[in-house]
Each structure stands twice: as structure tokens, then as C-alpha cells.
Amino acid sequence: MTTDTTTQDTTPGAPATGETVLDARGVTMRFGGLTAVRNVDLTVNSGEIVGLIGPNGAGKTTFFNCLTGLYIPTEGEVRYKGTVLPPKSFKVTAAGVARTFQNIRLFANMTVLENVLVGRHTRTKEGFWSAVLRLPGFHKAEAASRARAMELLEFVGLADKAEHLARNLPYGEQRKLEIARALASDPGLLLLDEPTAGMNPQETRATEELVFAIRDMGIAILVIEHDMRFIFNLCDRVAVLVQGEKLVEGDSATVQGDERVVAAYLGEPFEGAPGAEEAAEVAAAEAETETPAVETPEAETSEAETSEVAADDTEAEAPEAEADDAETADAPAAAADTTTDTAPGKENDR
């Protein structure tokens, strides 16, 4: 993989170092009665790598979807370089925010180069008729896009596979291709959703170097990851989401030393845990449902009387049953005698 950035210029449109690129305020996302993300605040500055961690189901990907226009937040707002982002994913990309996905979403039957060219669509200005008529402006724009795409493939180490189908790439290289496609839109902010999921240690290390190289281009990065070694080695700051709420934010040492973070990952309750009140209400309701009803003395008396009546009836029926059994036993003997006396053709032998 090629990660040497000595000849790379700062990405066009990338903000100056230290500028606030992402400013999410009070982001809340509800699905009916379920609150997946609750009042989350987060900022990312240019040239900074910020990590977002939390147990499965904490709302990390939902928060990403709110940032990139796939979901419209129920409450709160998301600003990019001081401007509120529109609630459309393609407009968010055009504004300067790009992302990858937890599950790889490449065009499997397109070549590696064509996949990266798709990411250039927000940066080309030629219209429909220019493309249909193949005007000079279209050819110029297409050549520029191909040159930029090849630069990015060289950057991630896939230039020699530009004409290969995306589906034929190994898993780790498909992840790199998705990052290259995201970079093709010349973003100022890159969101990576579990970029090392399923990778071996060597691939993880290569991805870490690639992310550092992207940071060196002046691009802000927000990354979700479950590999704690990867995230703490990589990030300047780390925020922890638990049950949709931001639990703590700080540098790696601060987050690693927070007992609440350890408890959240181990599933242990702690004082002031997000959702603790709701959990207590549910537990109380379940306890009330499972408590057996207390029987009254009158109910016990009624049950005793019923048992005695049933016993008397059983005793009264017992002699009758014995008599019936005796009669049933005598019936076969009588039938046998009758059969012996009436044998056919022997009536006059006596």
C-alpha cells in the first residue's frame, strides 16, 4: 500500500487546520416509541481524528446516518463548517461530507476505477446534453476525473488493479476501494463506519496507516470501531455512546480509565447509567405481574367444601361400581352354559 503523502497536496476545499468542521448539537433520533439517539453533542476539527465507540446497539451507526442525511434527526441540528446540512444525503456529500458503510457497498460488476469515478459525480459540472453530445467540456471533465481517480487508487495502493472487477478484490482491498471512492468527492470530513471489521492484524495496521495519511491531507475523520487497540492508537479524542446517549468524551487515557465505560462494555449497571430509570420501571412492572394473588379464607373454605363433596360422591359410587363388575363377571359363565346346552343336532341325545 502507498501512503506516502509528501507529494500530495491538501485536498481541494479542505478547511484550515483547527477549524470546526462538524458541529452536532442535541441530535436525537426516535423511531416511534424507541429513542435510538438522545441529545448527543459532538464536534470534529479539521486535521483531527475522533473515535466513536460503544457496545452493540448503542446508536453509533444511527448517529452517522443522522449526520449524513440518511435520517432526519427528530431533534437537534448538524452543522458543517457553520452551515446546517440539508436533509438529503447527496446534498450532504456535495457540501463536503463523505462516508463509508459498515457493510461494504461497492458496485460489484463495475471495475475498481469505475467505482472511484462514481464518487466524482458531485464534483463534475457537465450536464446531460454535454454528456450525450460528447462536447469538448465533457471530455475535459472526464479526463480530469479519471486522473483524480487514478491518483486516489495510487494513494490506497490499488492502481495496478484499476481494471479489475470490484467483486474480485479481497475483502481488505474492497475496504480500501470504498475509502478511495469516498475521497473522490474531495471531502473536508470523512466518516468511517467500522473500517477494520473482519480484517486480520496486518490489514488493520495498513488501514491505520492509511487513515493517518488521510489526516495528514487536512481531512477531519470521525470513525466508529470496535477494535479498542486500533481506536486508542488512532484517535485524538474518543466519545462513548451507551444506549443512545454520550457517556464520556476525552483522550484515550481518560476514556480507558473511566469505570463507567468498563461497566457499560461488561454489561454491569452503574449509578446514573443511561436508561436506568426506564429499566427500573420495567422491572417494577414485571415484578407486579409475577406476584401471585393472595387467597382469602372464604376461598379456602369453599375449596375445602368442594373437596369433601367430591370425596363423598366417590365413596357412594364405589359400591355401585363393584356390583356392576360382579354382574359383568357372571355374564360370560351364563353365556357359556347356554352355548353347551344348545349344540346343533344333539337335542334328542339326552
- Sign for the CA dihedral angle at 167, 170, 174, 176 comes to negative
82-91 average pLDDT score: 90
Question: Do 199 and 252 reside in the same domain of the chain?
Answer: yes
C-alpha triplet 102, 106, 108: angle, nearest 5°: 135
Residue 344 forms part of a structural domain = no
Question: Do 91 and 116 reside in the same domain of the chain?
Answer: no
Task: Tell me the CA end-to-end span of the chain in Å, nearest whole number.
Answer: 121
Question: Do 225 and 247 reside in the same domain of the chain?
Answer: yes
By three-state DSSP, how is residue 264 classified?
helix
How many domains does the chain fold into?
2
C-alpha triplet 49, 30, 95: angle, nearest 5°: 45
Distance (Å, whole) CA 217 – CA 14? 8
Q: Determine the structural domain holding residue 275 and report its residue range.
A: 19-96+187-289
C-alpha triplet 49, 54, 59: angle, nearest 5°: 95
294-317, pLDDT tens digit by residue? 444 554 545 555 555 454 555 555
pLDDT of residue 150: 94
pLDDT of residue 275: 58
Residue 194 forms part of a structural domain = yes
27-80, pLDDT tens digit by residue? 999 998 899 999 999 999 988 999 999 988 899 999 999 999 999 999 999 999
203-217 average pLDDT score: 93
pLDDT of residue 267: 64
Question: Do 68 and 203 reside in the same domain of the chain?
Answer: yes
Residue 242 has pLDDT above 50, yes or no: yes
Domain boundary among 266, 289, 312: 289
122-162, pLDDT tens digit by residue? 777 776 776 677 777 777 878 888 999 999 999 999 999 99
**Residue of 43, 38, 51, 37 lying closest to 230 (CA atoms):** 51
With residue 171 as reference, give the H or E element that holds it: helix 171-183
With the CA atoms of 182, 184, 187 and 190 taken in that order, what torsion angle do they form, in degrees rounded to the nearest 10? 20
pLDDT of residue 4: 42
Mean pLDDT of the chain: 79
